[in-house]
């Protein structure tokens, strides 16, 4: 991977310093999360010898590829997090997804790895955490995004092939404003309260026991856009966190409605994001900004969408009351809009003042440097589909392991609608 310190980005798993050196010197390798030299609090020859002889339990693994690193969770058979570093250069080139195919990670113990067979006929897409489209500069790097270590079961129509795909394009567009974009993406399993107010977790599983793959209820992205070396007007670092349900999403819903504070997301995900950069002061400021931007998005929702989204993400705090923004951000129309947060009608966007949240120590909310966090228009996946069909039609008549993003495909790499299976859009 391109000299990314895991300790800088995700504050869990293996040690920061050692991992950084390891990633520089050992791309494509597997890092185990436990070590016999650190399992005991003090040296004990007998216990150390026992660990040497018998081994200590192994749980998570960090898998390192050229363009991303992934912490693989053998319990869910999905990544826990996937880390990328994206620049404008990565998006240039002629790497072709039609030359790629999904594959099982042979560095993971067969007893714990995700399998192609589990996705076949599952009804879910094989959804990339690190998108193939982030790696146009290298065919090898693009191919590696098709490892099942980088894949989670995702709802296809309305999500993976639509709203989530637009979100991925939005992230790529950030490279025009910031020189370096760092992204942590992963699955979430978020509980919901029942009628008695007790919290319950329910989610499907695919495959066959005991090697089942857990279907996430939600997905998150935490984005750090470093504008200090970018060509855009901003010279600050923008940070934003987003959580979306693994379900069809109305294309009209604003991205800001899915903005969340870092602190509760970190508690749900079980990790700290960018811990060497986001200190307590920055986190507090970014979390207040996130609530302001989420309130801005929620006000634009229709009543049913507003209630549904609040229920779906009940474990994450929703904005309440009038949040404190910087001076000059309020107006009579915005005050009226604020008071209608719980009203029965959506507030037109033009009647809502765009939040202007404060910058702290050279850090601001991502939406401040990214034009208000507006998604690109829908339709890219459909255009890619048509382009791939035309390309296949002009070829020799078959596509081995095509990954052009079919609505359903074989477990070996997808893209062929005539074969029902695990799908696999790749953008």
- CATH assignment of the domain containing 308: 3.40.570.10
Kindly indicate the confidence band of residue 19, based on its pLDDT and cuts at 50, 70 and 90. very low
Residue 289 domain flag: yes
Q: What are the b/e assignments for 246-278, b being 16+ CB within 10 Å?
A: beebeeebbbbbbbbbbbbbbebbebbbbbebb
* Residue 194, domain extent: 6-393
- Which range of 48-57, 214-223, 333-342, 343-352 scores highest in mean pLDDT? It is 214-223
Q: Which pLDDT score, from 0 to 100, does residue 312 have?
A: 87
Residue 116 phi, psi (nearest 5): -65, -35
Kindly indicate the confidence band of residue 264, based on its pLDDT and cuts at 50, 70 and 90. very high
d(C-alpha 256, C-alpha 296), whole Å: 7
Residue 416 domain flag: no
For residue 29, is pLDDT > 70? no
d(C-alpha 2, C-alpha 229), whole Å: 17
Residue 425 domain flag: no
For residue 209, is pLDDT > 80? yes
Binding-site residues for Mg(2+), in ranges, read 160
Q: How many domains does the chain have?
A: 1
For residue 84, is pLDDT > 60? yes
Mean pLDDT across the stretch 49-63?
A: 78
Residue 370 domain flag: yes
Residue the block writes with tokens 């029902």: 420
Binding-site residues, in ranges, read 160
Residue 365 domain flag: yes
List, by residue number, the catalytic residues. Answer: 128
Residue 418 domain flag: no
Pick the residue with more confidence: 54 or 131?
A: 131
Q: Which pLDDT score, from 0 to 100, does residue 419 have?
A: 34
Residue 426 domain flag: no
Mean pLDDT across the stretch 156-180?
A: 94
Q: Which pLDDT score, from 0 to 100, does residue 60 have?
A: 75
pTM here? 0.79
Residue 405 domain flag: no
Q: What are the b/e assignments for 198-232, b being 16+ CB within 10 Å?
A: eeeeebeebbeeebbbbbbbbbbbbbbbbbeebee
């Amino acid at each position: 991977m391109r000299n990314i310190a895991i300790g800088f980005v995700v504050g869990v798993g293996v040690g920061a310093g050692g991992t950084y050196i390891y990633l520089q010197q050992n791309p494509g390798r597997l890092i185990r999360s436990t070590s016999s030299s650190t399992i005991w609090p003090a040296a004990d020859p007998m216990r150390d010898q026992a660990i040497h002889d018998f081994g200590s339990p192994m749980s998570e693994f960090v898998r390192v590829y050229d363009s991303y690193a992934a912490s693989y969770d053998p319990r869910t058979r999905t990544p826990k997090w996937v880390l990328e570093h994206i620049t404008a250069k990565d998006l240039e080139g002629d790497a072709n997804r039609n030359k790629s195919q999904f594959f099982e990670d042979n560095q993971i113990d067969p007893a714990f790895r995700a399998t192609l067979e589990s996705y076949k006929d599952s009804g879910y897409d094989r959804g990339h955490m690190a998108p193939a489209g982030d790696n146009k500069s290298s065919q090898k790097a693009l191919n590696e995004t098709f490892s099942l270590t980088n894949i989670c079961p995702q709802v296809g129509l309305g999500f993976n092939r639509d709203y989530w795909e637009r979100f991925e394009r939005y992230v790529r567009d950030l490279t025009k404003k910031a020189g370096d974009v760092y992204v942590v993406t992963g699955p979430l399993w978020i509980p919901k309260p029942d009628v008695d107010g007790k919290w319950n977790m329910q989610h499907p599983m695919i495959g066959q026991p005991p090697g089942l793959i857990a279907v996430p209820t939600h997905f998150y992205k935490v984005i750090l856009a470093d504008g200090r070396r970018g060509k855009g007007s901003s010279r600050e670092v923008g940070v934003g966190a987003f959580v979306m349900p693994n379900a069809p999403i109305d294309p009209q819903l604003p991205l800001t409605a899915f903005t969340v504070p870092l602190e509760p997301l970190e508690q749900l995900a079980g990790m700290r994001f960018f811990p060497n950069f986001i200190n307590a002061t920055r986190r507090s400021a970014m979390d207040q900004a996130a609530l302001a931007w989420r309130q801005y998005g929620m006000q634009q929702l229709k009543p049913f969408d507003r209630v549904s989204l609040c229920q779906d993400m009940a474990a994450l705090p929703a904005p309440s009351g009038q949040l404190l923004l910087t001076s000059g951000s309020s107006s009579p129309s915005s005050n009226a809009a604020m008071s209608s947060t719980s009203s029965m009608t959506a507030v037109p966007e033009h009647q809502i003042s765009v939040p202007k949240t404060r910058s702290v120590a050279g850090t601001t909310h991502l939406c401040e440097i990214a034009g208000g966090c507006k998604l690109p228009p829908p339709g890219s996946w459909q255009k890619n589909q048509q382009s791939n069909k035309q390309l296949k039609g002009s070829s020799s008549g078959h596509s081995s392991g095509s990954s052009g993003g079919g609505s359903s495909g074989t477990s070996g790499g997808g893209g062929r609608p005539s074969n029902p299976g695990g799908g696999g859009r790749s953008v």
